[in-house]
Every structure is written in structure tokens, then in C-alpha cells.
Amino acid sequence: MSLRIYNTLSRAVSEFTPLEAGHVRMYVCGMTVYDYSHLGHARSMVAFDVVQRWLKASGLRVTYVRNITDIDDKIIRRATENGESIRHLTDRMIAALAEDADALGIERPTYEPRATDYVPQMLNMISTLESKGLAYRSAGEGAEGDVNYAVRKFPGYGKLSGKSLEELRSGERVAVLDGKQDPLDFVLWKSAKDSEPDDAKWDSPFGKGRPGWHIECSAMGCALLGEHFDIHGGGADLTFPHHENEIAQSEGANGVPFASVWMHNGFINVDNEKMSKSLGNFFTIRDVLKEFDAETVRFFIVRSHYRSPVNYSDVHLKDAHASLKRLYTALSLVQPAAPFEIDWQQPHAARFAAAMNEDFGTPEAVAVLFDLASEVNRSHDAQLAALLKALGGVLGILQRDPEQFLQAGNAVDAGVIEAQIAERAAAKAAKDFAKADAIRKSLLEQGIVLKDSPQGTSWEMAL
């Protein structure tokens, strides 16, 4: 069964064929590093991590680019407020981002370019757009030195978002800045202001300044993946204007389609509102990880389809943890067979593949994992346990030692628990069932659940 993907550009699910046989080139918009990443950023990183994992599991080579925006208004403002250089701030935030991503089991992209390393490529693209009549220099007071994109001169503008120029124009609420020929036009190059720090200014044919946000991704995508590549991804909030503007710039400059498939992940919501820093309703990844296990957070994201909105709450994360415990409990019953290679003809594996091949259908793929876990619980089959672990690995879960996961979060020394389990066993052997029950109850009050089996007694943390 071949892979089918929902393409925002065509508004349909259709069969995916890489431009180059056996090789997928994918670009995903990354973070603007002025603050710690929040759970909404985690949603995007995990979603596209699963995408690239499935592409690789399908036998494809993947060149994956996830950029870092390390220059923009928010970064300049935050660095100035902190009394630190832009580079110092962005280095700190990039290091924190890497820590958060690693904790969530997100594989590093092939390339993670910083925008500031690609300013020459951005200037080349802007010059090309100017030579083609798609860009113009502002002359108005307060905007002298800016270079803007002339939206109405690009015939395909609005094709990604489905918005017509008339709709956009009538809905325009932002005041026309001096020097713009049309309120829809957007900035490619921002002229430097005296109040801005020197490390926010680059020399250019248009005067000192810095790139606009949209041109950054166009330049980095073309430089690292070519003028036409397979997949461009990001959050749904980037569809317009960011991705629409990327298309206008890239296709306007190069005359070829920018990306064949446009993928957008849904939001994480709090009280049915999008989680965002501007709304002040966000939870940073590192704060959430103080309360919940990182694999639980990943599973919370993975078990929903990437295009669906997800509501964040402690209740939902606790439910995700309970569900993940069910899978790890099955793996704790039998040592998975090793070495092991997935046989995609095996019924469970075939169902998993069918789900993933239909627009990365992780909810159905996760359902297969639970069916497998039930089989493992019933049969104690080492091959099925190995398949459960291997399929979980495709989603970036179930790779830890089951006992380690089930016992995580314990504040009591494991040796003390094992001693009490031994004491309970001795009490049961002596038919002192009151003492045995008292030990079980005491441990339960400490959040420790005992599980008896023919093989002996094991323990795990209660929910």
C-alpha cells in the first residue's frame, strides 16, 4: 500500500511520490528562539518526527531540515530587555530547545540551519525578485531602505490558504506603512533603526538592515533542499501569511513549484483556545516535564492525528500515562525476542502500516499496539512482544526497560520496597495473611502497587 498524504495546497489526500526515487526532502518551520519552547512547539516537533520516522521505516532516505529563526523583532526586544547580546540569547535558547527535543525522543534533523547563517542567500533571492519586478524599495518616511514584495504581481497568491486578494484586502486591518504600495505587501528586507543593536544589522545592496521573517525560510529551503522539494511542514497557524509568502517569494524568484506537498499540524488548545505565548496560556515543555514523564508527553501527542486539535490538561496527560502503562505492562511479562526485524506481512504489522500510510494515521496505529499488548498478555509470546516494541519504536515510544518505566517516579528506595516484598512473601508462607495484607496496604499508601504472578511479585507506581 502506497503512502497517501493530505496536501493543504490541493485540500485533498493523495498518493505521495518523491521527486527523486527513494529520497524524500522535507522542510519544517522551526522555532523563533527568544524564549523556552512550549507544548505547542512540541506538537509540531513530534508530529514531523513521526513523519520522518515512518518515511525511513518505509525504506526511504530522508533529508530533513528544521530551521531556527535567530533574528527577529521579539529576539531583539528580549535580548535588549535582558541586557545580553542577540547571539548569547539565541545560543541559550537553542541549547534549551535541544534539551527539550532530546527529552521527548525527537531525532535530530539532518540540518538545523540558523537564519543568520543564510543572509547572503536571502539577499540574492531579494535581488532576483527585484530584477523580476516582484520587489520594490520603499521611499516613504520611516521606511526608507525597506524592500517589499509586491503581492499583486504574483498571480498565484492565495492558492495555499484559499484566500482571494479581494478577501484579504477587505479583511486588512493593519495600517498601511509608509512606503508600501499595497497593505498586502510584506517586507523582505528591513532597514536598520538607530535604536537597534549592531548585531541586528547586516550590510546589503539596500543599506544596513536585516531580513524579514518570510524570506528566511525560502532561502534556507532552497539552499539545502533545492528550488523544488517534496514536503514543507509546520503548524496550521503558519499557513497564512508565512507559508503563503514563502510560496510567493520562492516561486516568484525561481519559476518552479516550491514544495509538492504542504503539511500542517493542528494546535494544542487550552480551554479550546490555541496555546500561544501571545495569549499567555502556554506551558513550556520543561515545566510540563517537571510534572509528567517525557514519554508520556510524547504519547499524549502521538495518539492523536497530527492534523487534529488536541486539548491539554493534567487529566489528559494522566490518561496518556495510564494507557502507556498498559503497553509497558505487556512488555514486562515476557522478554521480547531479539534480534528482531518487522515482517510487514504479519497481520498486526500490516494493519499498522495501512494506518500510517493513510496520512500518518497514528490513532489507528496506536490501536494496533493495544491489540498486540492484549495478545502478549494472553500468550506471553516473545515474538509478539518484540513486534509490539518494534512498532512502538516507529512512533518513538516503548524503547525503555519496562520495569524502569513502571517504577519511575518512586520516592521510596527500591531496596526497601524489595525487602518489604520479601517480608510479605515470608508472612504469606507462614500464613500470616494479616501481616501480608498490611504490608501491601502500606506500600499502596506510598503509591506502590504490588502485582502477584506465578513468577513472583513485581511492583509499579500507581497512577
What Cα–Cα distance (Å) separates residue 169 from each residue in 164, 278, 305?
Answer: 9, 24, 34
Is there a binding annotation on residue 277?
Answer: yes
Handedness of CA 423, 424, 429, 434 (dihedral sign): positive
Grid coordinates standing for 358? 493513510
* Backbone φ, ψ for residue 95 (5° rounding): -65, -40
Residue type at 382 in one-letter notation: A
Is there a binding annotation on residue 222?
Answer: no
Query: d(Cα 463, Cα 449) in Å, to the nearest integer?
Result: 9
Q: Which pairing describes strands 135-137 and 4-7: parallel, antiparallel, or unpaired?
A: unpaired
In the Cβ-directed half-sphere of 449, how many Cα atoms lie within 13 Å? 12
Query: d(Cα 395, Cα 392) in Å, to the nearest integer?
Result: 5
In 3D space, the residue among 268, 258, 233 whose CA is nearest the CA of residue 360 turns out to be 233
In the Cβ-directed half-sphere of 238, how many Cα atoms lie within 13 Å? 23
* Backbone φ, ψ for residue 190 (5° rounding): -100, 125
Is there a binding annotation on residue 246?
Answer: yes
Which residue positions form the known binding site for ATP? 277
Which residue positions form the known binding site for Zn(2+)? 29, 217, 242, 246
Which residue positions form the known binding site? 29, 217, 242, 246, 277
